[in-house]
Chains A and B, each alone.
Chain A
């Protein structure tokens, strides 16, 4: 009898093993018995508890047992034997050292390959230098580690919509800390906490809410593991890096075509004064994409608000424009205010050719040579005046250069000429007011200056010739004397003899 029962038990056991073995072999090449799950599944009451969750976990699919992270012996069903410290059992690791469990495999390229995975293994390297890992309240526990974002026990592949870091779920994930003012205050009271709300007003946010995974969410711009402070020049959202970042998507023709958007903005921006200021001069005050479009609430400014947007820096021009007759007309005609004449991305250095009625001028696009159009003649007047001042200035400069070449000092006059530059700047700015009288009053000063400096230059040249003339007179006197003396000495010497 006992022999029979023994055989039954052994065969049942062998059968169990082979089944279990099959099961495991189907999923991976490592057969592992996970007794932990078996016991804990019985213990748990809800589906939200670890063992239940773990069934959905990608690590479970790969055949990693609970002991793979928690240590211990997964083959033992006896609690003490399974959760044996000598077998490496670590219990529930605390937040300060939790990451060490993950990096045991995830930072080891060979280990990852052995599970048939091609995902990168530099996450911890990046995380180590990031702001989430380097900041801490007690000096040892990082703000965020692997578990904070990827969660635990139900970790899904990043490509699965179930993953906490799937593009449509990322905003909610980041929001859980970054919109919590009380929490953020503990680390950096100055950081705003409205990014999520702003994001949802943006085109990116709205699309993302609809399930579009092509649009930008937090990770697309800030990165995932290696997130640096915005003030860090290596951060992807540091001002000089922003245009390139946006162009990652916005210069992608195929992607942009899907949304019927242009894809030349970055190329245009690079040619613009703003782009040159940012990239070449490294002037951080120059606007990048986010300064005009917003960063979290990114949306192109509406037609009526363009002058306000440009006006955050070009304050005076915006003020003048808003006082001008153009503002009402442009808004009525749905013309994009500043952009109408200056463009949006490819804003290049303005020349005087923009003003007037010639080929490159913008005024003649609306104003015509008819009796009723007073503005046409005003524009003509303005252009003529500016051209005339520039001519006057350059002829003054010529005279002064001539004088200076001759060795005369004209530094005072040269300084006055700098004031002409100032007058030209002010005059060109006041064209935004579109008022001929004001224009004339500004430019008057310039003509006074150029005529004064020209006179100073001509005086200097006169002085130059005066010196030579004076020398000539002195030479004549001396030569006269020399001849006389010569005669006298000759006489004297003769007398002596």
Chain B
């Protein structure tokens, strides 16, 4: 009986949309099956976490109020008075952090498995942009509870943005909606967080996913060079998809456990006139840059140390983004040892400075 209904539905859609070619195409999508297959899950995990964010975010908008007088109280309200409000809010906060972590892992795994190589350069570029958008989500969302930590973290963060030469002042005013962090900043960040960034994100994400569907899973050199008998792959539908689903279920469970046992905190309400809490630091995904900047001397030759630091990071970021370009020099099939070393260096740098950021708090 079920079979009949399924076929009926399928035929109805097929008459209109000619699903056959799509179905046969999808049937052939496969994932290489070897020791590095595990990394292939992280794209999906990032996608899942994004969906969780959108869902919990929409639910939160039902009760959140984005004005200076009410933001903090509305979060308290959600936490205390709304049924399961505590759950939705804590999931949203935990999922945000896990998503950024997952996206970082996804990026590094793509880097080391060289999945950015031709023909997948655009996938890489859209992906990097998506990463920046994620960090923008993180930065803008962090202010929304309007508690002390949020307020001062935003102040420090926008201060750093203001240090950029030429565009710094303009950027600072644009971000803050004025000279200082005020209710105007909150409004802007709220608009950014729930409208502008999601809009851009969805467009880029769609491109990113379409590219992947069109081009299929990347097959790294290591796997390609295996003898035919040992070359194994998993069909995406339904095998890998079910594996994906399994992992997604576990991730959702982890989120629920984190939300229940480690509920996200809410400090005291932001007060522009109080002094910044001692040891104020940004969230962990910005921490390595923040900590590294602290080590730079105040003046390097005639330039301000901080500006040099920021520009260096900017330059490093640019070079990282352009890796498909640098790597294109490598003749096909060869390993690029330099790239690996650079990647390891960057990874180590980020990890070490993040740890230092916490130790030296």
Contacts and interface: CB of A to CB of B under 8 A. Distances in A.
The finding on whether chains A and B are genuine partners in a shared complex, rather than unrelated, reads yes
Interface of A: 407-409, 411, 467-468, 471, 474-475, 478-479, 481-482, 485-486, 488-489, 492-493, 496
B30 to A, nearest CB: 10
Contacts of B79: 409
Q: Which of B81, B250, B260 has the most CB of A within 10 A?
A: B260
Contacts of B239: 489, 492-493, 496
Given A411-B80, A478-B252, A485-B249, A492 B260 contact: no
Contacts, number: 46
A480 to B, nearest CB: 10
Contacts of A475: 253, 256-257
B231 to A, nearest CB: 14
B256 A474 contact: yes
Contacts of A408: 80
B234 interface: yes
A467 B80 CA distance: 13
B260 A467 contact: yes
Given A411-B80, A471-B256, A485-B249, 17 more contacts: A409-B79, A409-B81, A468-B260, A471-B260, A474-B253, A474-B256, A478-B249, A478-B252, A479-B253, A482-B246, A482-B250, A485-B245, A486-B246, A489-B242, A492-B238, A492-B242, A496-B235
17 contacts: A408-B80, A409-B79, A409-B80, A409-B81, A471-B257, A471-B260, A475-B253, A478-B250, A478-B252, A485-B246, A485-B249, A486-B246, A489-B242, A489-B243, A489-B246, A492-B238, A496-B235
A34 to B, nearest CB: 74
A188 to B, nearest CB: 42
Q: Shortest 8 CB-CB distances between A and B: which pairs? A: A409-B80, A478-B253, A471-B260, A485-B246, A489-B242, A492-B239, A478-B249, A482-B249
B255 to A, nearest CB: 11
A99 B252 CA distance: 94
Contact of A407 (B234, B242, B243, B263): B263
Contacts of B249: 478, 481-482, 485
Contacts of A411: 80
A408 B80 CA distance: 7
Given A409-B76, A482-B249, A496-B235, A488 B257 contact: no
Nearest to A470: B260
B195 to A, nearest CB: 30
A478 B251 CA distance: 10
A493 B257 contact: no
Interface string B225-247: 00000000011001100110110
A474 B239 CA distance: 25
Contacts of A482: 246, 249-250
A416 to B, nearest CB: 15
Contacts of A485: 242, 245-246, 249
Interface in B14-43: none
Nearest to A489: B242
